[in-house]
Structure 1
């Protein structure tokens, strides 16, 4: 699996997630190579993102105004703020910088280098 496959369309990062290592199939593996049917996926964000050929929703020009993305990211639960932070970091610095930051994480989320994102 390439490293960007471990970043969910919503900004969730599978690379340090304990559930991914145990029981989860992840958001993207299988959809990109056709072994899983995207038409059967339940996640609206995933369907839209992968249909448009994006790595994550951070790549989409409609990101800031997309009702589906913004409604998802604005949930009051902590993890959603981390997903939003991930997408904003990717938009500002790119995937390489995100993956480099994630190398140091010990849990599902972590800290980012000091920046103006």
Structure 2
């Protein structure tokens, strides 16, 4: 893949995770190549996203009306707002721009480049 396997269905950037870098069986590894059975996954978001061939939930036409992702993003807590920000950034700018923004992050979320207003 083109690095998008490091983007979680929820918008988290997994490339900074030490466990992911070692042996993590996170959101996508194994499911993308069929070595893990997606039917046995417990995460409804992951099942839906990967079954539909999406990189993230933000890539889905049903994103704004989807109960699964919207209920996840509406949890209280800072990180959920950051995951929503990531998905919105991906929807607007694409996966490559997201991965470029995440190059220097040290956690699952971080800052985005300033965008010139038009």
TM-score of the superposition, structure 2-length normalised? Answer: 0.90
Residue 8 (structure 2) aligns with: 8
Residue 56 (structure 1) aligns with: 56
Superposed displacement of residue 106, structure 1: 2.1
Distance (whole Å) between structure 2 residues aligned to residue 42 and residue 111 of structure 1? 30
The alignment yields a C-alpha RMSD, in angstroms, of 1.5
Q: How many residues align?
A: 116
Residue 45 (structure 1) aligns with: 45
The runs of at least 4 aligned residues of structure 1 exceeding 3 Å deviation read none
Segment of structure 1 superposing worse, 36-45 or 2-11: 2-11
Distance (whole Å) between structure 2 residues aligned to residue 20 and residue 33 of structure 1? 16
> Runs of 5+ in structure 1 lacking a partner?
none
Contact 2:11 2:87 in 1 (8 A): yes
Superposed displacement of residue 23, structure 1: 5.6
Residue 86 (structure 1) aligns with: 86
Residue 109 (structure 2) aligns with: 109
Contact 1:11 1:84 in 2 (8 A): yes
> Runs of 5+ in structure 2 lacking a partner?
none
